[in-house]
Amino acid sequence: MYCHSFNVVLQEVPGEVSLCFSISGCPLRCEGCHSPFLWKKGTGTKLTQKLYEDILHKYYGFATCVIFMGGEWHKNELISSLKYAQDKGYKTCVYTGQDQLDLEILKHLTWVKTGRWDKSLGGLESKTTNQEFIEVKTKKRLNHLFLKT
């Protein structure tokens, strides 16, 4: 699994300081995608177990969540990474353009964002979006957390 970029983010999971790994090789290629650079396989840095563990260790006590932007096409590696994050006390999230995520991956998530990008419907901050931000355990739709008042 290759990570095109790593960032500490504040908006993708409301109320959480998140470590965000953008995984390259996305097969969905949604029209209007804001990250088309993630379509190409193998771009970025190989996300080795050591590199991943070092990042989580470095931000331990500051960050509260680990997010993968994509990566579901690397199911086993993704699950392993999610398990490690949970074992270290982090909450977990995956952003996917799919309408559903594999149940084996869902077992290791606190939240999931689903749905292809559709410019005419907008993203999570839009009342008309087709995307959903779900708390996995309760299956609650939490899109209201992204709406500006």
pLDDT tens track for 9-53: 999 999 999 999 999 998 888 777 778 788 888 889 999 999 999
Is residue 148 scored above 90 in pLDDT?
no
Query: Is residue 93 predicted with pLDDT exceeding 90?
Result: yes
Q: How many domains are there within the chain?
A: 1
Tell which wins on pLDDT, 32 or 88: 88
pLDDT of 6: 95
Give the CATH number for residue 44: 3.20.20.70
User: Do 147 and 131 meet the contact criterion of CB atoms below 8 Å apart?
Assistant: no
What mean pLDDT is predicted for residues 78-99?
97
Domain that holds residue 65: 2-146
Distant-in-sequence, close-in-space partners of 99: CB < 8 Å, separation ≥ 6: 114, 115, 116
Average pLDDT over residues 84-102: 96
Tokens of 147: 């709406």
Instruction: State the pLDDT at residue 125.
Output: 94
SS3 readout for the chain: CEEEEEEEECCCCCCCCEEEEEECCCCCCCCCCCCHHHCCCCCCEECCHHHHHHHHHHCECCECEEEEECCHHHHHHHHHHHHHHHHCCCEEEEECCCCCCCHHHHCCCCEEEECCCCCCCCCCCCCCCCCEEEECCCCEECHHHHCCC
